[in-house]
Amino acid sequence: MFDFFTSQSSWIILLAGVAAGFVLIIFGGDFFVDSAVWLAKITHIPQMIIGATVVSIGTTLPEIFVSFTAAAQGRTAMAAGNAAGSIFCNLALILGITLAFKTAAVDKREFLPKFIIFALSSIVLFVFALNKKIGIVENAVLIGIFLVFMIVNVVSARRKMKEYAVMGSAGQTGISDESVEEKKQKPAIMILLFIVGAAGIAVGANLLIDTVSAAAAKLNVSEQIISLTVVALGTSLPELITALTSLKKNNVEISVGNVLGANILNATLITGGSGLIAGGLTVAASDFMPLLLSIGLAMAAAAVLIIPILIKGRTYRAQGITMTSVYVAYTAFMIVLASGVL
């Protein structure tokens, strides 16, 4: 789409293209989610169902569009690298920073189902990648896990709604009032935001892919290494914003839940969908070790997260510091690897 970005382009032009791509994706995603939530609310879909489906997918829209677009263009290394890198970035860096600054008690009943699905999807993805090719059937299995996750989300949301109805909580009135406010918004504007948001994400994804590919060629570095680091960090900005907001509002559980949900989608919907679009994801020999390393370290970070929660039902700052340190070391290793020293 943006074929004028090549390895001969200046760094100023390439960096400007990368920045513009990120801006279009992030703001386009924000417009898209807001308008999609509005559309769901005026059709009387319960707020919790919206949160369990539309919003959870909304925070991973950058990863979805970047990976799906890359897969459609045959750039499977970038598609797989973005998904795997985002999993590790979300868990080790973003959640690590959150836990390093704030501890919290964790509701095991809400946490464990998501963590189990995340652990299962990560293990399945790791095993599938061992033969350097994730085929059509394997990608279909990942999509199946995604569907299970969405069903669990909806069932959980419906259970909460019944609990609120029985308790007669004040929160229910808040939902009704909010629905009234949503209806006051002009449909034409919201529909326009929906279209503009979707277009922004699509254009931004294409722009990001083309500029990153040109930068990789200019540096003579694998597209996957850049995807595992720079692209993954950039497309994880919505999760980072959610994490910082949760810190400000003293609600770490929101960040924990959002990161787990986003990582499940990265491992299942994004990887599986990319594989189905591309007719399978093939991992080149030079990209094999970095990909497995990112998935393996994400699983290690997950172990650091889960053990104190299972034993004490809470998080500790030491967890966040450990997870963040692992990510910093991983990034340093990737830089050394890209430099050709190893």
Sign of torsion over alpha carbons 126, 150, 309, 97:
positive
Dump pLDDT digits (tens) for 233-288.
Answer: 877 877 777 677 777 777 777 778 778 888 899 999 999 999 999 999 887 777 78
pLDDT digits (tens, 9 = 90+) for 105-138: 888 887 888 899 999 999 999 999 888 889 999 9
- Given the structure tokens 């679009």, which residue do they identify? 277
What pLDDT does residue 279 have? Answer: 93
Average pLDDT on 208-219 reads 81
| pLDDT for the residue 174 | 45
Confidence at residue 173, expressed as pLDDT on a 0 to 100 scale = 44
Question: What are the structural domains of the chain?
Answer: 11-339 (1.20.1420.30)
Q: Which of 89, 139, 74, 91 is nearest to 270 (CA)?
A: 139
Long-range contacts made by residues 150-155, C-beta under 8 angstroms, separation at least 24? 150/52, 150/53, 152/113, 152/114, 152/117, 153/52, 153/53, 153/56, 153/261, 154/49, 154/52, 154/53
Q: Each residue of 222-246: pLDDT tens digit?
A: 777 888 888 888 778 777 776 777 7
Look at residue 211 and tell me whether its pLDDT is greater than 70.
yes
The answer, yes or no, to whether residue 1 has pLDDT greater than 70, is no
Q: Which residues pair with 281 in a beta bridge?
A: 134
Helix, strand, coil distribution of the chain in percent, nearest 5: 85, 0, 15
Pair 197, 65: CB distance under 8 Å = no
Is residue 179 scored above 60 in pLDDT?
no
Beta bridge partners of 279: none
